[in-house]
Amino acid sequence: MITASLDVGSVVLVLASLSFLGLGQSAPAQGLGADTARALPELAAHWWIPAIPGLAVMALSLVANLAGNAVRNLLARDGR
C-alpha cells in the first residue's frame, strides 16, 4: 500500500509527460500534459494558462508522496 501511494506521483508525472508529447489519450479526453501543451503558444501573453496544469501535476505528485510518507511513518510508529 505504501509503495503504491509513493508510485502515484511517478505515474502522474509519466502520464502528464506522455500526454504533453502527444502520446497520451485520444483527443476528446483531457490530460494535464495535453492542456499544458495546448497552452504553450499563449505563454508569452498569458503565463498562467500553461502554468496551472503544471502546478496541478506538481501538487498531485506532492500530495501522493506526502500521503505515502505519512502512512509509512504511522505504520513504523506502531511497530509493524
Please, which residues have CB within 8 angstroms of residue 33's CB and are 6 or more apart in sequence?
15, 16, 17, 18, 19, 20, 21, 24, 53, 57
pLDDT for position 40:
80
15: enclosing H helix or E strand = helix 2-20
* pLDDT tens digits, 16-64: 888 888 887 776 777 778 877 878 887 788 888 878 888 888 898 888 8
Q: What is the pLDDT of residue 79?
A: 65
Residue 80 has pLDDT above 70, yes or no: no
Whole-structure pTM value: 0.69
